[in-house]
Every structure is written in structure tokens, then in C-alpha cells.
Structure 1
Amino acid sequence: MSEDVQHREDAKYLEHIHLNEKAIYFNRMKNMSANYYHWHQCVEILSVSQGVGIALVEHQQYTVKPGRLFIFPPGKLHKVYVEQSERNVYHRTTVHFNSTLLEQYCRDFPRQQVLLRQLCCRGEKARVFDVSEVQPVIDTLLERFEELTANHLFNTSDSAFLVMQLLSLLPEQQQAIGQNTFSMALIRWLEEHYQERCSLEDIASAMGCSKGHASRRFHYETEGTIQEYLVMRRIRQACELLLHSHLSVREIAGQVGFSEYAWFITCFRKNMGKTPLQYRKAYSLPT
């Protein structure tokens, strides 16, 4: 994407979850819209009790609705779009947790332990489950855990027990099927080319349409822009390289597709709330 086009984007801050000593971050949100790309350094479980929208992950588009549960592994770029209104009231619960710390509590529960490893490791695919039949049970579990957190009465074993209960309710095989849309095809193309200096003309040509059509169609299907997604994807990869390589910041900027080093620094600070060096210092594991 040309640098001048990128400058006009108002990208959103990407969430870095600060887990407490109980290895979990539990949040219930009501009556608030959602519309941004993000990822986390930890696992996220998203359960929707009211409202309808879309989720973009793994080059697929899914319907966000009651009876659907999402599991996003660490580092998985995704977007949830739900427009809150009187006719579309959005209630959702997110559970972020340290799967490594909680795994020790699953030693006597082999099925849950295996599921935890399969679903929650970095590099694993995001999973989307239809849980309509057990949604009332899930809602009850989340309501009870909310009471514990409100009164500060829970500990790490309570966190592990909640996660194990949620995992035990997942169907063996039944996963929701994503939709292959124009925007998802475009995202798959970007996944192969985001490290290159590609313009909107290049993208439209690859999709066999005009620039205007590509932009309008992408926005219609995702409520976002091509430029926004490309910036997010590049910065997400930059974060990975900052934490898991010894490359310099300038080298990383070039590897993820930024042709101007100063613009990379500006974009990174705007989206992450830190400069690349500050991010590396704050979140790199000691060696």
C-alpha cells in the first residue's frame, strides 16, 4: 500500500492483556459496539449472549451470534464487528488466560489438557464452535464467575476450573463454517504479499477489478478498509519479530513491508502505544 494512503488511516490500538496473579482476565461487556483489528499475547475465548455481527479470522468470515464461541490463540490477528443499537443489543464475555499456567490444573483431566494444548498454543488455528444447545449452561457459568470476580473471591484454581468447564462443553467436531467472500480472498492475497511494497492498483489487479470496486466491496463486507488491514498485518508481524528475533528495528521495518523507516515508527507507536524498542523491552522474555 502506498505510504501516502497509509498516512490517512486512523488505526486502532492493539490490546496487550495484563493478566493478574490468577492467570486470567475476565470481562463482560454490554451495549457497546465493536469494530477493530487486534490480537493478544494470550488466549482469548469469546462468548456472545446477545447481538449479531461478523468476525474475521483465518482468512474466513464468520457470523457473530448467540450460541457461537470463538477461541483465538496467542498472536492471532482477528476483527470482530458488531454495531450496537436498540435492535441489535450486543452482550459478550471475553476470557483471556495464561494456558501454560492453567495446564498444571488439568493433569487429572486428560481430555481437557489435550484440548487446552490443541486450542491454545501459539501458531494454532482459531476455532469457532456452535454451542447453541449448551449456551444456557455457558451463560450460567460466566454469570457465576462474574460474581466471584466482583467480590474478589476467586483464585487460580477457580480460573482453571472455569476454562476446563468451557472446554468440556465444546462439541467434538462441529465447528462453524466460514464464508468465502471477496474480502477473504483479498486478505488471503495480502497474506502472501504484505511484506512487499504493493499499491491499491496491485491489489485491485490481483482481484480482477477496479480500485474503487475493491475498496467499496472490502468495506461493505468487513466495515473496515484495505489499508487498515494491511497496516495491522504488518505491525502484527513486526511485533513477532521484535519479540522472537534479533533483527534491528530498521531491518524489521523493511521485512514487514514498510519502505519508510520513520513512517513505520509512527504507525507502530500509534497502534501499540509504544515505540518498537519500548515494545521489545517491555514484552521480550528474558534469555
Structure 2
Amino acid sequence: MNFLFDPVKFDGQTFLWSHRARADMAYPGYYHWHQCMELLYIHEGEGSIIVNQHSYEMKRGMLFLFQPFQLHKVFANVSPDKPYTRSMAYLDPAVAAEGLNSFPLRHSLFMKVWQGKSVGPAFQLEEVAKELEDCFMLYDNLYNQGRGQAQEEVVMLILQLMGLINHAQSRSGKQLDVGAEGRALRYSEQIMQWIEEHFAEEVSLDHLADFMHLSKFYVSRVFHEETGSNITDYLTARRIKQASRLLQSTSHSIEQVGILVGYPNVSYFIHMFKKVVGVTPLRYRQRHLGSLK
């Protein structure tokens, strides 16, 4: 398993940009989060994006704005004739918000996307895909000229982005954040929601299969088909994500944190945490406290 915490190294910059990156070989992805905000726009591709216990269909016009430390995974069904093409950006949301202060409506929307729970992280912007892709192309030209780090250019891009989200929402007359509301949950989403409620307990495939009223074999297979990963990897990711949060925000002992996230054996908890994060729980806590100082 790849490390869950995938730190973005800005090296003095505030906005990192990649335009129309293309993959035409296997792209299974992995569960991870960043310390910053991430923008992901789909130009073409088939697959799914997993975030917040939901699975979103990958297709042109899908825009994702992941909050800092938000667990997510991209699973693309890729082949030479069906590539996965996306534009991505990593940004410090505090810097972006400061630049939007003079634009109250767009600033308010950005704050909801950055810190709220009711807007995003997924937006269907197919109706304004051409306008959005034109904005990305113009910004990419500036980025290649060495002007992409200028606050004015970054703020202008985000202003245009927020404006297109508002415009598309007004045109359609409905919310654009495409959660699971209004449709039946996929099997994988039901499984992820069950794990969300039970990850701190002893979890077994038997319990999960009983809840789903399906065979253990089918539960495992359908989750892999819809997410590109197995249930154990997702359960581990969710537990370690919660452990990281507790190590940062509480004074619980390492043993207590392990118990609270479903690892009653402290040695096994330390082993799993180091395996997926790269450092021990104690070292992770020390690094976080050091960064706060």
C-alpha cells in the first residue's frame, strides 16, 4: 500500500499546476490525502473517484476540489484507446482566500468548498466544460511563461472557476455538487458507509456480508470492481486517517488511539501506522507538534 499522507512540496511556491496530464496504462490509484487543497479536472477517462464514502463517475466536465486532509482515491479504467487525461493543481487555500477578499460572492463559495460540508467536493460542469477548459489553457500559457505563480494570475483563475460553478448552477437550476442524494447507493458506497459506522470495532467480512445480504465472495468482488481496491485497504485507510487526526488533536496515548480506531494490539497498530504513513505514531505526533510550534 502507498503512504496515505502524500505531502505536497511547494518549495516556496503557492500554486502547483499540471495541464492535461495523460495516462494510457493501468492507473489503479491509492487512498491518500494532502496537507493542501487539490483541484482535479477530468478531460477524458472512465473510472471512479472515491471520496467521503461516495463513488463518483469519472467523465469529461467533472471537477473535484478536495479539502486538505480529505481522503480520496482515483481509479481509472485505462487503455491506449481510452486514456485518462486530467488537469491538476495544488494550492494553499489560505493564500487563495486572501486574494478573493474583494469578491464577496466568490469568496463565500470558495470558503464553503474549502472548509464546509455542504458544497463539493465534486461538481458536474459538463455544460461549461468548453469555457472551463479555455480558462485552463490560458492559465497554462501563463504558467509556461513563468507568470503562473503571480497572485494576480492565480486569483484570476480561481475567480473564473468560482464564477463558472455559479453560472452552471444558475443555468441548470440545481445544485452541482453531485453526491449520492437522489440516487440509489452503489454497493461500494453502502460498504463504505457501513465501515464508517463500524471501523473502530472488530470488522469481519462475515458481518459485512450479513449486512449487505450478499455472499462474502460477491461483496469482495463488487467492491473491487467499483473502487479498484479491496475492502481491507479501505478499512486500513479509514482507520489510519482517524488515528492521524487523533494524534494531532488529542493527548490520548498511542495505545488509546489504537483502541479507538480498531487496533487493540498496540504493537500491531504501530506496525500498520508506520507501514501506511511512513513513520511511527509517536514520530508523526512529534512532527505535527513541531510544525505547530
Normalising TM by the smaller chain, what interval?
A: 0.7 to 0.9
Q: Which amino acid aligns with 1:163?
A: I
Q: 1:73–1:125: 8 Å Cα contact kept in structure 2?
A: no
Paired with 1:177 and 1:116, the residues of 2 have a C-alpha distance of 18
Q: Which residue in 2 is equivalent to 1:18?
A: 9
Q: 2:123–2:177: 8 Å Cα contact kept in structure 1?
A: yes
Can you list the C-alpha shifts for 1:106-136, whole angstroms capped at 9, x where unaligned?
1111111101110111666643212122212
Q: Which amino acid aligns with 2:15?
A: I
Q: Which residue in 2 is equivalent to 1:250?
A: 255
Q: Which residue in 2 is equivalent to 1:5?
A: none
Paired with 1:177 and 1:214, the residues of 2 have a C-alpha distance of 22
Which among 152, 163, 168 is matched to residue 168 of structure 1?
163
Paired with 2:78 and 2:266, the residues of 1 have a C-alpha distance of 38
Instruction: Map 1:219-238; keep pairs closer than 5 Å.
Output: 219-238=224-243
Paired with 1:122 and 1:283, the residues of 2 have a C-alpha distance of 23
Cα distance change, pair 30–197 in 1 and its aligned pair in 2 (3 A) = same
Q: Which residue in 1 is equivalent to 2:22?
A: 30
Q: Which residue in 2 is equivalent to 1:84?
A: 78
Q: 1:68–1:132: 8 Å Cα contact kept in structure 2?
A: yes
Please tell me whether residue 133 in structure 1 is matched to residue 127 in structure 2: yes
Paired with 1:213 and 1:228, the residues of 2 have a C-alpha distance of 17
Paired with 1:222 and 1:211, the residues of 2 have a C-alpha distance of 17
TM-score (norm 2): 0.86
Q: Which residue in 1 is equivalent to 2:172?
A: none
Give the C-alpha shift of residue 244 in structure 1: 1.6
Paired with 1:47 and 1:138, the residues of 2 have a C-alpha distance of 10
Partner secondary structure for residue 201 of structure 2: coil
**Which segments of 5 or more consecutive residues in structure 1 lack a partner in the other structure?**
1-10
Give the C-alpha shift of residue 55 in structure 1: 1.4
Q: Which residue in 1 is equivalent to 2:57?
A: 63
Q: How many residues align?
A: 277
Sequence identity (%)? 29
**Which segments of 5 or more consecutive residues in structure 2 lack a partner in the other structure?**
170-174
Cα distance change, pair 228–122 in 1 and its aligned pair in 2 (3 A) = farther
Can you list the C-alpha shifts for 1:81-112, whole angstroms capped at 9, x where unaligned?
10321121111112221212221111111111
Q: Which residue in 2 is equivalent to 1:265?
A: 270
Cα distance change, pair 189–116 in 1 and its aligned pair in 2 (3 A) = same
Partner secondary structure for residue 36 of structure 1: coil
Q: 1:18–1:25: 8 Å Cα contact kept in structure 2?
A: no
Q: Which residue in 2 is equivalent to 1:286?
A: 292
Instruction: Map 1:182-261; keep pairs closer than 5 Å.
Output: 182-261=187-266
Paired with 1:201 and 1:193, the residues of 2 have a C-alpha distance of 13
Give the C-alpha shift of residue 230 in structure 1: 0.0
Paired with 2:97 and 2:75, the residues of 1 have a C-alpha distance of 31
Give the C-alpha shift of residue 41 in structure 1: 2.1
Cα distance change, pair 196–223 in 1 and its aligned pair in 2 (3 A) = same
TM-score (norm 1): 0.88
Q: 1:73–1:124: 8 Å Cα contact kept in structure 2?
A: no
Can you list the C-alpha shifts for 1:115-173, whole angstroms capped at 9, x where unaligned?
11101116666432121222122222223333333443232332222222211111332
Q: Choose between structure 1 and 2 for higher RCO, CA contacts under 8 A separated by at least 6 residues.
A: 1
Which among 143, 150, 154 is matched to residue 155 of structure 1?
150
Give the C-alpha shift of residue 271 in structure 1: 1.7
Give the C-alpha shift of residue 239 in structure 1: 1.2
Paired with 1:207 and 1:167, the residues of 2 have a C-alpha distance of 39
Cα distance change, pair 35–276 in 1 and its aligned pair in 2 (3 A) = same
Partner secondary structure for residue 37 of structure 1: coil
